[in-house]
Amino acid sequence: MNPVESLIIFSLIVASLTVIFLPRKGLLAKWKHTIRSTERVLIEDALKHLYDREYNQLGCTLQSIAGNLEINSDKATNLVERLEKLGLINSKDGKLSLTPKGRSYALRVIRVHRLWEKYLSEKTGVPEIDWHDKAEWKEHELTPEQADDLAASIGNPLFDPHGDPIPTSDGRIPRKEGVPLSSLKEGNAARIIHIEDEPKAVYAQLLALDLHLGSQIIMIENTRERIKFESDGDEKVLAPIFAANVTVKLFERKTDVQKNFITLSNLKVGEKGTVLKISNALRGQERRRLMDFGIVPGAEIAVEMKSPSGDPTAYLIRDAIIAFRKNQSDHIFIKK
């Protein structure tokens, strides 16, 4: 074969393989997506939706199910009938409610969902914004036994990474705490205890603002148009509806409020500081490893040198030189 011909054939092969196997947009990925919506998935999603409405003390109707699951009302009617037949829900005057059996089923699904989110956050590098979608898949796949094993393998966590409590295996779940961020008054100081991950667009916005569980909030200005507040020392602005997706808990004592902190990444080579806290953006092993090095509140830390490209940076901590990346030092708060 002539070399030019063979090169052309080669590029054709590469192109067609790309079309098939491309993640997300490839033919294979699309095909996988379509075979996903089975009956089990629909039933479980409907139960979850009902549970969610109940938990937030809102009513649930056929329309809200259809809307939430993105199916047409015929399908929704069929689904509701099926759920009733299975003894999972009751319907009275168009108002739907869970039976005890339905509730415990819903909690099982929610348990897996939240456990999986916790798993992703602690043990993998999956980005925050993708946790929810992946958990939506996984929640329909695990048996209760597998869920228990999963829970044990991540240390029987109490909360998911958004701050939602994880139901226990026998279906108990604690009551809701805290108030929405949008309800804080000027000068109020509080800590974030929950960040809602749906809808995704809103969640992305909250992530972009670098808000995390445990972040310290001080309200600066709360008007109908905008909410301006300080989060871990940085000024942030949000629209009130967005702010409603963040739940906070007011500080009990004045002394809990920390003032004047900067992040470690702001220090220049040769400067020193004292560690105030590690943001909850650093989770799991990564967080624990930093603490193993002695980065705990009160520790002195000095910037030793930067690598040729400026990241990572090496720090002097308890006489040892430890290097880590900017995405870590961005989340360590210090006082100069």
Question: What is the rounded distance in angstroms from the CA atom of residue 274 to the CA atom of residue 299?
Answer: 6
Cβ of residue 238: shortest distance to another protein, in angstroms? 24
Residue among 20, 305, 335, 336 that touches another protein (CB under 8 A): 305
Size of the site for another protein (CB under 8 A): 56
Question: Given the rule CB under 8 A, which of 2-10, 35-43, 178-186, 256-264 is the region that contacts another protein?
Answer: 2-10
Contact between 105 and 47 (Cβ < 8 Å) = yes
**Nearer to another protein by C-beta: 87 or 155?**
155
What SS3 state is found at 28? helix
| Residue 169 tokens, joined | 């295996």
Q: What distance separates the 2 farthest-apart alpha carbons in the chain?
A: 81
Residue recorded with tokens 């993998």? 124
Question: Around 69, how many Cα atoms within 13 Å sit in the side-chain half-sphere?
Answer: 29
User: x/- site string to another protein, residues 109 to 148, per CB under 8 A?
Assistant: --------------xxxxx---------------------
What is the phi/psi pair of residue 35, to 5°?
A: -85, 15
| Residue 161 tokens, joined | 């990474």
41 binds another protein (CB under 8 A): no
Question: What is the rounded distance in angstroms from the CA atom of residue 290 to the CA atom of residue 303?
Answer: 15
Residue among 69, 159, 183, 251 that touches another protein (CB under 8 A): 159
**Nearer to another protein by C-beta: 3 or 187?**
3
270 binds another protein (CB under 8 A): no
Q: Which residues bind another protein (CB under 8 A)?
A: 1, 3-4, 6-7, 10, 23, 123-127, 152-159, 168, 174, 278, 285-286, 288-294, 296-299, 304-312, 314, 317-325, 328
